[in-house]
């Protein structure tokens, strides 16, 4: 697939190949005369990027989906229950988000007065789904006029890549402080919203802008720090990590800085409605009853009502918490909408949300290895659970062994993945952390290695992030 910008097309030329939208919709047929009417129509639809595909092209993502990865053993650190769940493709009743976990959400939420009349169970879900807010968003989506395609200058073209040798200890400490500071800020903001208080959307935008600035100067470091996990305040930590991942996915997919900031804000508030779900359900350690599951399914629309309390919130943000839990096969919630009726901003955050949830520990299971999470995402795409639209953008930026994760090489050295090699999904650039058959971190062993340029070297095992003794999140990065 070759990416073309609308400005690359000229009226009067013939299309050498068929031109498609990012959704796979045929826009201009092969050998067709490109007219000014074509160009005007694309502008009206806010389509800035087109994709040229010949009949003989093989979809790169399908090639990746067909791989078996026989030489790897990702299940060593997983129990049989987790492996079985992945094999089953995540049923709706056992979603990877872990929303019924005992440590998943903070206590002390207060339901705003406007929502006190919502009835329990299925009846209340139908009541919310028929609310003015919900029906209004559905109408906008159905109209096809919602702008969710990339438009404007692409942020990825501004982003640079820093070598570990150029990251000073002071710089890495500053980034770590930015993360911990943002976590405190988002905790305070979401808590105020849950109490029904008004907050300023500018505060949310400021958090995202801070990390977008870091991304532009050091695009891989956000992927690395998104591996930081706090089990004591899971929801807040989860929302911040989903934001960082969403920035990377959206940038890789060609979105502009303005759009990415809006997507990032949506990621920060994507699960805000869970703060209004009763504590007895939020902290339920076992499987939910049918009635309790209806209560969980209310949270996207409950979140919409909380967003009404945010001043200066971009209009596009509303679609993200509303549709982040919808699924391509119409088995999501709250409205069981399918592929083309799910906002693309929500699809970006959905991908980040599922990955981050799977890679985080829960009271009822261990964290899944990042490599296993990537395999699971590919499987979910293949089974039409999540959208294929952004999986390639995600993997090309982070590789099949996500940036920040640990791997064992075939000479038994342990390495940290520091950046991807685009379409060489199994051949990232790594930094060696240990000598062969040693799992203790030694700064003297640090050595950057591009596996794409070293054909004799390969990854033989994915490892837990805490596998190397004495190595922290920023070590080796």
pLDDT at 446: 83
pTM: 0.80
Range from 27-41, 139-153, 327-341, 458-472 carrying the lowest mean pLDDT = 27-41
Domain final residue, candidates 316, 347, 366: 366
pLDDT tens digits for range 180-228: 999 999 999 999 998 889 999 999 999 999 999 999 999 999 999 998 8
Domain count, the chain: 3
Question: What pLDDT band is residue 233 in, cutting at 50, 70 and 90?
Answer: low
Instruction: Single out the residue in 366, 399, 421 at which a domain terminates.
Output: 366
Q: Are strands 310-311 and 199-200 parallel, antiparallel or unpaired?
A: parallel
- Sequence-ordered list of residues with C-beta below 8 angstroms from that of 472, at least 6 positions apart, any chain: none
The whole-chain average pLDDT of the chain stands at 83
Q: Is there a contact between 354 and 380 (Cβ–Cβ < 8 Å)? A: yes
Whether residue 294 sits in one domain with residue 373? no
Q: How far is CA 235 from CA 39, 230, 270, in A?
A: 44, 9, 10
Q: Is the dihedral of CA 290, 292, 293, 295 positive or negative?
A: positive
What does the pLDDT look like over 26-50, one tens digit per residue? 788 777 888 888 888 888 877 888 7
Please indicate, yes or no, whether residues 278 and 375 belong to a single structural domain of this protein.
no
Residues 261 and 204 in one domain: yes
State the average pLDDT over residues 121-148. Answer: 87
**Domain of residue 35, CATH code:** 3.90.105
Determine, yes or no, domain membership for 191.
Answer: yes
Q: What is the CATH number of the domain that holds 280?
A: 1.10.3210
Q: Is the pLDDT of residue 353 over 70?
A: yes
204 and 352: one domain?
Answer: yes
393-415 pLDDT per residue, tens? 999 899 999 999 999 999 999 99
Q: Is residue 385 one of the residues assigned to a domain?
A: yes
Contacts of 403 (CB under 8 A, 6+ apart): 220, 223, 224, 397, 417, 418, 419, 420, 428
Residue 179 has pLDDT above 50, yes or no: yes
> Is residue 123 reached through a cis peptide bond, with omega within 30 degrees of 0 on the bond before it?
no
Return the pLDDT at 106: 38
Contact 348, 250 (CB under 8 A): yes
Both 224 and 240 in a single domain?
A: yes
Q: Which residues pair with 440 in a beta bridge?
A: 469
Q: Residue 241 CA to chain centroid, in angstroms?
A: 9
Residue 74: predicted pLDDT:
36
In this structure, the answer to whether residues 70 and 143 fall within a common structural domain is no
CB 277 within 8 A of CB 292: no
Judge whether 395 lies within some domain: yes
Instruction: Indicate whether 93 belongs to any domain.
Output: no
126 and 266, same domain (yes or no): yes
Name which of 180-189, 237-246, 292-301 the model is least confident about: 292-301
Q: What is the pLDDT of residue 389?
A: 86
Q: How far apart are CA 28 and CA 34, in angstroms?
A: 8
Residues 243 and 353 in one domain: yes
338 and 429 in a single domain? The answer is no
For residue 269, being part of any structural domain is answered with: yes
Domain that holds residue 344: 98-366
Q: What angle do CA 318, 190, 205 make, to 5 degrees?
A: 60
Check: CB of residue 400 under 8 Å from CB of residue 417. no
Asked if 217 and 300 sit in the same domain, the reply is yes
Q: What is the model's pLDDT at position 17?
A: 79
- Is residue 431 scored above 70 in pLDDT? yes
3-state secondary structure of 459: strand
Taking the C-alpha atoms of residue 452 and residue 182, their distance in angstroms, rounded to an integer, is: 36
Of 271, 245, 223, 227, whose CA–CA distance to 97 is shortest?
A: 271
**What's the pLDDT score for residue 113?**
52
Whether the pLDDT of residue 312 is over 90: the answer is yes
Q: Which of 26-30, 360-364, 380-384 has the highest mean pLDDT?
A: 380-384
* Cα separation, 449 vs 429, whole angstroms: 6
In our burial notation (b when 16+ CB lie closer than 10 A, e otherwise), range 395-430 reads bbbbbbbbbbbbbbbeeebbbbbbbbbeebbbbbbb
Residues 138 and 164 in one domain: yes
If residue 85 lies in a helix (H) or strand (E), which one and from where to where?
helix 80-88
What is the number of other CB atoms lying within 10 angstroms of the CB of residue 32? 14
| Beta strand pairing call for 447-450 and 429-432 | antiparallel
For 462, the 3-state DSSP assignment is: strand
One domain for residues 387 and 290: no
Hey, is 306 helix, strand or coil? helix
Judged against a pLDDT cut of 60, whether residue 57 lies above it is answered with no
- Closest C-alpha to 95, from 106, 105, 86: 86
């Amino acid at each position: 697939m070759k990416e073309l910008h609308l400005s690359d097309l000229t009226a009067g030329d013939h299309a050498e190949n068929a031109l498609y939208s990012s959704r796979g919709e045929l826009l201009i047929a092969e050998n067709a005369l490109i007219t000014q009417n074509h160009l005007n129509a694309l502008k009206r639809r806010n389509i800035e990027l087109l994709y040229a595909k010949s009949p003989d092209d093989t979809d790169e993502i399908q090639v990746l989906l067909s791989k078996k990865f026989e030489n790897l053993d990702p299940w060593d650190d997983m129990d049989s229950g987790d492996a079985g769940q992945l094999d089953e493709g995540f049923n709706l009743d056992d979603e990877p988000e872990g929303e019924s976990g005992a440590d998943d959400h903070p206590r002390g939420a207060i339901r705003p007065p406007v929502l006190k009349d919502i009835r329990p169970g299925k009846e209340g879900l139908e009541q919310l789904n028929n609310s003015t807010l919900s029906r209004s968003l559905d109408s906008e989506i159905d109209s096809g006029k919602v702008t969710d395609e990339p438009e404007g200058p692409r942020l990825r073209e501004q982003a640079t890549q820093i070598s570990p040798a150029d990251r000073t200890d002071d710089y890495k400490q500053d980034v770590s402080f930015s993360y911990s500071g943002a976590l405190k800020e988002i905790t305070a903001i979401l808590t105020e919203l849950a109490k029904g208080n008004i907050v300023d959307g500018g505060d949310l935008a400021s958090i995202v802008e801070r990390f977008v600035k870091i991304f532009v100067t050091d695009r891989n470091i956000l992927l690395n720090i998104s591996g930081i996990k706090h089990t004591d305040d899971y929801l807040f930590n989860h929302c911040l990590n989903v934001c960082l991942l969403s920035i990377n996915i959206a940038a890789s997919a060609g979105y502009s800085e303005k759009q990415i900031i809006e997507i990032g804000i949506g990621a920060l508030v994507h699960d805000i409605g869970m703060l209004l779900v009763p504590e007895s359900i939020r902290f339920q350690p076992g499987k939910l009853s049918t009635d309790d599951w209806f209560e969980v399914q209310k949270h996207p629309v409950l979140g919409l009502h909380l967003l009404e309390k945010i001043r200066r919130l971009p209009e596009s943000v509303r679609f993200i918490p509303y549709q982040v839990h919808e699924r391509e096969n119409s088995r999501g919630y709250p409205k069981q909408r399918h592929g083309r009726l799910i906002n693309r901003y929500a699809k970006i955050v959905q991908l980040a949300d599922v990955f981050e949830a799977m890679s985080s520990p829960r009271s009822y299971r261990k964290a899944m290895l990042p490599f296993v999470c990537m395999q699971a995402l590919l499987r979910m795409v293949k089974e039409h659970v999540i959208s294929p639209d952004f999986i390639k953008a995600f993997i090309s930026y982070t590789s099949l062994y996500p940036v920040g994760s640990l791997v064992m090489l075939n000479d038994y050295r342990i390495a940290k993945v520091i950046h991807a090699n685009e379409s060489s999904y199994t051949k990232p650039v790594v930094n060696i952390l240990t000598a062969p058959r040693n799992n203790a971190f030694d700064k003297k062993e640090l050595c950057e290695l591009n596996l794409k340029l070293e054909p004799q070297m390969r990854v033989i095992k994915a490892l837990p992030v805490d596998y190397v003794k004495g190595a922290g999140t920023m070590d080796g990065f």
